[in-house]
Structure 1
Amino acid sequence: MHTMIRWINRLTQNGKFHPMWIVLAVTGVLIVAAIVLVPARYEGSKEPRQNVAATPRQLPAANLPEPDSGQHDLMQTPHGVQPVHFTPPSERDMPSGELGDMIKLGRNIFEHTQIYAKGLVGNGLNCVNCHLDAGRKADSAPLWAAYVMFPAYRSKNHKVNSFEDRLAGCFRFSMNGTAPEYNSKEMIALTSYSYWLAKGAPTGVELAGRGYPEPGNPPLPPDAQRGAAVFQANCAICHGADGQGSKVNGQYAFPPLWGNDSYNAGAGMHSVKNAAAFIKANMPLGKGNSLSLQESWDVAQFVNSHDRPADPRVK
């Protein structure tokens, strides 16, 4: 500013001064000030700039993926509920007294049905043929897992069934026989044995190992001809080349799989899917899950393609 005043005085003394020059000088000063000061004030008024690299952009909450809860497999269980693991009591823990005697009778009927309930059986099978290890083995329709799920509605007879109803159905279809009376010694003994095996298990809760594991669909439709080859290679050694089982002292050590001494056409095992599930998880005996899924379905189709007693519901 002092420099400008001296410049004006010098021009005035030389006689070269014109008042318009003052206007031009002031205008120039304002233009310079606008160029320098206005951007500085604008920058000073802005909020501090965020470091984009340090602060990731947040998506709207609706677009964020759900945290992995580790529960995806729960939806694959039959009832959408995580099965509870349970171990039945040991044989050495069986109670004494009259209750213990009834429980032991139930076990004997279950393992040796042909001896302890012969009058109720119409074929050559024992309960243990489909429910392995005296009804204790997981993935082989164990008694302890079935007992806690009754009463339950069953589509087979379109009504709510008690556990006694379920046992009666086994005698009528799987054993091709006659259902025991509900207050009979046989029915009370089998119910007592099942009750004891389920001691400590929660009721109405899906227990791991219940029934037979879902087999899934095979790569190819089940084929009896392929199944015949699987049968001869893996099953005939126990069940006989003709599927009629193997006897020791007049009793079947290995059950017949078709014919008059096998289960009838109303039994659950006559469903190819059920038979495939049982075979996949449990057969050959002691070598469960050694057959492929396709082999299990094929041999189930082969077994159930043979003649057997009729479903008693069919007239």
Structure 2
Amino acid sequence: MKNPIAIAITFAMIATSVTVFAASETSTPTAAKALVFTPPNDEEIPNNEFGKIVRQGKNIFEDTQHYAKQYVGNSLNCVNCHLASGRKENSSPLWAAYVRYPAYRAKNNKVNTYEERIQGCFKYSLNGKAPAVDSPEMVALVTYSYWLATGAPVGAKLKGAGYPEVPKPGLIPDANRGKTVFVENCQVCHGSNGEGKKVDGKYIFPPLWGSESFNWGAGMHRINTAAAFIKANMPLSKGGTLTDQEAWDVATFVMSHERPQDPRFKGNVAQTKKEYHDENCRYGETVNGKVLGGKHQTAAK
């Protein structure tokens, strides 16, 4: 005689399978909600060798000019695009990015590791050169990111990740309107010529264009990306106060100025634009009689 317990378990498994199958056939899929996550506080960094590297990564992130100067080619620090030491939600926080890699990126048409993603930041946003995967600086930055993501589920889309997309406005984004927004909201910190502000020789507010800003290959040069960052975070401590139209307009104004050449430069602007800038940007366009990207005919070294 068969074991009655085994028979009951078998029927339960069959019933469960039928229910799951039926649900998959008849239910309407719903988008998964982003999970809410809070990174650990600095006070929780352990006082051991691991914690020492975490603190080193935090130092590099906040003052890249000092702690990783050999890899930086402009006047920016990592924290300029990832506010509050990489903690702030909707400012591309490290804790949200770390758990999403490895990931495919259309930018280089391959699956990137987290280390490769950081290397791209140095190459484009910092207009410098990429630290080796096993360099002390890279190890420290990855360790700091890993620590910030303590407890976050791998592969999860976390609430506050990246920069929240801003819908296209009713009017075509306009640099002239954007200049007005800039003067009224941005100039006080970033200067009338987008040159940034220094105290004791150090930038406290980063340059937004010109030779000391990010280059034409950085993700931030795309108007939609800049508008998303601005809408969520600018003016500093007053994120969300600009309208969608104002965010797009001022992003268009800022990105209508010259900056360092795209490291992928192909010898002429038109060719580089065709291959890498068929997107929401002004690279290769003529502004005030000058072709953006044409000032520097060689890529940054």
TM-score band w.r.t. shorter chain: 0.7 to 0.9
**Shift in Å at residue 81 of structure 1?**
2.3
Residue 285 of structure 1: SS of its match in structure 2? coil
Corresponding residue for residue 34 of structure 1: none
Letter in 2 for 1:224: A
Distance 2:228 2:169 in 1: 11
How does 1:62-101 map onto structure 2 within 5 Å? 80-101=31-52
Q: Which has the larger radius of gyration?
A: 1
Structure 2 unaligned regions, length at least 5: 1-27, 267-301
Moved over 3 A (4+): none
How does 1:239-258 map onto structure 2 within 5 Å? 239-258=190-209
**Shift in Å at residue 96 of structure 1?**
1.6
Residue 300 of structure 1: SS of its match in structure 2? helix
How does 1:158-197 map onto structure 2 within 5 Å? 158-197=109-148
How does 1:229-248 map onto structure 2 within 5 Å? 229-248=180-199
Corresponding residue for residue 301 of structure 1: 252
Residue among 230, 247, 250 paired with 1:279:
230
The reply to whether residue 228 of structure 1 matches residue 179 of structure 2 is: yes
The reply to whether residue 142 of structure 1 matches residue 93 of structure 2 is: yes
RMSD: 1.1
Distance 2:91 2:170 in 1: 24
Distance 1:100 1:162 in 2: 23
The reply to whether residue 201 of structure 1 matches residue 152 of structure 2 is: yes
Residue 104 of structure 1: SS of its match in structure 2? helix
Identity of aligned pairs, percent? Answer: 59
Distance 2:223 2:213 in 1: 15
Distance 2:201 2:69 in 1: 14
Distance 1:184 1:98 in 2: 17
Distance 2:42 2:48 in 1: 15
Corresponding residue for residue 7 of structure 2: none
Corresponding residue for residue 65 of structure 1: none
Letter in 2 for 1:200: G
Residue 121 of structure 2: SS of its match in structure 1? helix
Distance 1:288 1:146 in 2: 21
Residue 198 of structure 2: SS of its match in structure 1? strand
How does 1:18-167 map onto structure 2 within 5 Å? 80-167=31-118
**Shift in Å at residue 233 of structure 1?**
0.3
Letter in 2 for 1:152: A
TM-score (norm. length: structure 2): 0.78
**Shift in Å at residue 98 of structure 1?**
1.0
The reply to whether residue 265 of structure 1 matches residue 216 of structure 2 is: yes
Q: How many residues align?
A: 239
Residue 191 of structure 1: SS of its match in structure 2? helix
Q: Give a deviation string over 1:270-314, Cα, whole Å, max 9, x none.
A: 000000000000000000000010000000000000000011011
**Shift in Å at residue 219 of structure 1?**
1.1
Distance 1:250 1:120 in 2: 19
Letter in 2 for 1:156: K
Structure 1 unaligned regions, length at least 5: 1-71
Q: Give a deviation string over 1:165-224, Cα, whole Å, max 9, x none.
A: 000000000000000011000000000000000000001010000000011111111100
TM-score (norm. length: structure 1): 0.75
Letter in 1 for 2:62: E
Letter in 2 for 1:216: P
